[in-house]
Every structure is written in C-alpha cells, then in structure tokens.
Amino acid sequence: MQFWVYMLECADGSYYVGHTDSLERRIAQHHAGDVPGCYTFNRRPLTLVWSQEFPSRMEALTSERQIKGWSRAKKLALIANDWPRLSELAKGRAQAQKSLAETAGAGSPCEERGSTGSPRTDVGGMRMHDSVKDKDLEWMRHAFALAERAEREFDEIPVGAVLVDADGQVLGEGWNRNILDHDPSAHAEIVAMREAGRVSGNHRLVGTTLYVTLEPCAMCAMALVHARVARLVYGAGDPKTGACGSVFDVIADPRHNHRVEVLGGVLGDEAGRRLTNYFRAKRGRPLV
C-alpha cells in the first residue's frame, strides 16, 4: 500500500500539507469540504501544488509533519523542486541557530526543527538528521511498562502514558482505566494529566512532555492543547481515531492559541505489536 504527502495552495495564499493513502480521493474530499477537522473547507478554491509518494504511513506522516514546520520560502522551493535553494535555506537557518546558541552560551549548535520539534529526517531526497533522543526511548519504555500493567492487572487496552517536566521529573502517569472507572474519558493521557495537575496544583502543564504508547484521539489531543503541554511523543499511529496526523490533525490546527510539538513513531513497531497482540489474544488468534 502506498501513501502520499501533498500540499495545497488555499485561496488566501496559505498552504495546507496532509497525507493520505488515496491522493485522488482526498483531493476530491478537500474540494467538497469533506475532510473532518480540516480548516481548508473555508479557504477554497484549492490547488494541488506538490505531492510525493512514500512506501509506509509512518514515513508519510513524518514527512508531513516536517514540511508543515517549514517556512513559506522553503515550501515554495519544494514546490519548484529547487533543491539547491532548499538546501541553502536549511543551511542558513542552521547557521542562525548555531550563532544564537553560541551567544546564549549553549555550547552546541541547535539542529533545525519542524512542527514536531524533532531534527529532520529524509524529505524528498534531502538529507536531514535523526529525530529520536535517548531520553525519548527511555520514557517510551516507561510508558510500555504502564501499558503492561493496564493489561495484566485490569485487562484494559494496553496504553500507557507518562508526563515529565523540563527537568525530567515525573509529574503524572497512568494507563487506560475506562472499564475500571466506568469513565469514557479515562484514557491514559487524561489519567496522567489529571495526576500532574493535582501534583503541580495547576491546570496548566507548561514546559512538560507527554509520552504515550498510542497516538492520542481527538479528546486527548485537545486536552494537551488546553493544558499547554509543550511536547507530545507517541509510539504507534492510530489509523482509526488518531488525531495527531493519522486520521485527523486536530493538534496541529493553526487556529489554536497554543502549539504542541509532536514526534510520532518512537518505538512505533513495538508499540503497535503490543496492541495487536492484545486484540489477537482476545480473539484467540496467534500472536505476531
């Protein structure tokens, strides 16, 4: 199955970047104003100005999020297939960030970051940097352990989440408790943020990072925005209800008054396999 990343020019001159498994169908949906959670419905007519095919949804999703964070100049260079200009713009930004870091006494240059807050990977043949940090892997494994408790102790769907502050201290953690608490809102992310709010004595969780094993749904994505969480790192994408790029892109809507940096697919294969095996076991099917 192939996936596409595409860019639309809106009537107001802005650009919309998305991904899909059927480019023709998705463009038709945009023209009809039938893409759920998308702001292009009131910015028509739309023009498809760029698209590229990718072999997997995760690669398409990663590229989509990176391009969304690009400046208008970089997007125009991409549309024109002007790779020398694109490279020049990337180097110019990297040099500016290096100078800023040195001025601030950071001691090391900052890497260019997109809307995900992550260093670049390959996009359209242009070489960037790896995006996953050691601490991201460590905290995702911690979230895996929480997910295991959900399944082992409560027979809940194994999704775990942990919220840490800028100093790496745990403020809240949890796992799915929908069945246990008879609460449709008790997703792992909500449980972790509720605990963090109680611990910090504040409904705003500024400067924090949430690690969760599954891409948040629309409810949890909006809770992250309302709580002013700085960064989201998730494991497996959710092709049915994911609201951070897979099905909806609620969290990246430019109309929000807060931006959450997003990094998806961290230990994504393992996260997806754990969830798949939970449901296969429920149905008496062999594990993968």
Q: What is the pLDDT of residues 217-246, one digit of tens each?
A: 999 999 999 999 999 999 999 988 999 988
Q: Please, which residues have CB within 8 angstroms of residue 99's CB and are 6 or more apart in sequence?
A: none
The length of the chain is 288
pTM passes above 0.85: no
Q: What is the pLDDT of residues 178-206, one digit of tens each?
A: 999 999 999 999 999 999 999 999 999 99
C-alpha to C-alpha distance for 18 and 177, rounded to whole angstroms: 32
Both tokens of 221, joined, read 């994505």
List pLDDT tens digits, range 241-280: 999 988 888 888 888 889 899 999 899 999 999 999 999 9
In angstroms and rounded to an integer, the radius of gyration of the C-alpha atoms of the chain is 20
**Average pLDDT of the residues in 150-158:** 94
DSSP at 17: E
Residue in 173, 189, 215, 261 annotated catalytic:
189
The least confident of 50-59, 72-81, 99-108, 172-181 is 99-108
**How many angstroms separate the CA atoms of 60 and 83, rounded?**
19
Annotated active-site residue 59? The verdict is no
Residue 152 pLDDT greater than 60, yes or no = yes
Tell me the per-residue pLDDT of 25-46, one tens digit each, with 9 for 90 and over: 999 999 888 876 566 777 888 9
